[in-house]
Amino acid sequence: MRFLKFPALWAVAMLLAGCAGYHLGPVNGESAGEKTVEIVPFNNQTLQPRLGDAVTQALREQFQADGTYRLANGTGDIVVSGEIKTYTRIGMSFANSDVLTASNYRVVIEAIVTARDRSTGKLLLDKRKVTGYTFVHVGSDLVSAERQAMPLLAEDFAKNVTEMIAEGAW
């Protein structure tokens, strides 16, 4: 009951206890920016145009923002490549007047992603099903709505891939 007399001291103690498990920098045991990563353009096996380009660009941006690995200008220490296998549109909500017409979709992509150490040839990551998703609200034009949502879809996918590689989830 004595700690109730000093609320500021109690608050500082709780704050410090909450930070006890925090780890500064990369969690995979390497120094930040020690290795470089090369993103090979993703192969798009879907009918959605320019999806591979959007995913590749989002991956490059995400690795730059993450900072665990430096983005290689040429050949990198780690080579990340992949193949987008599916693009799925799932109706989430439907129009009041027509139960067959969706007004909101969840758009999901699935891809195969590999990361290989260039010097040893060791496979660091080999995931057969990496996903990314976003929601699309359809106004008058589904194609335009999907085109506008593509960067968000690619960004979510890129965050998932970057997390797997940077945190060593292989």
Domains in the chain: boundaries: 7-166
Mean local confidence (pLDDT), 27-50: 82
The CA distance from 84 to 109, in Å, is: 7
For residue 8, the one-letter residue type is A
153: which 2 tokens? 């879809």
Residue 153 has pLDDT above 50, yes or no: yes
What pLDDT digit, counting tens, does each position of 38-48 carry? 999 999 999 99
Select 7-166's CATH number: 3.10.20.30, 3.40.50.300, 3.40.50.620, 3.30.160.150. 3.30.160.150
Q: How many residues does the chain have?
A: 170
- Tell me, what's the pLDDT at 139? 81
81: which 2 tokens? 């490549």
- Contact yes or no for 47/87 (Cβ under 8 A): yes
- Tell me, what's the pLDDT at 102? 87
89 has which bridge partners?
A: 107
Q: Where residue 24 falls among pLDDT bands split at 50, 70, 90?
A: very low
The CA distance from 93 to 138, in Å, is: 10
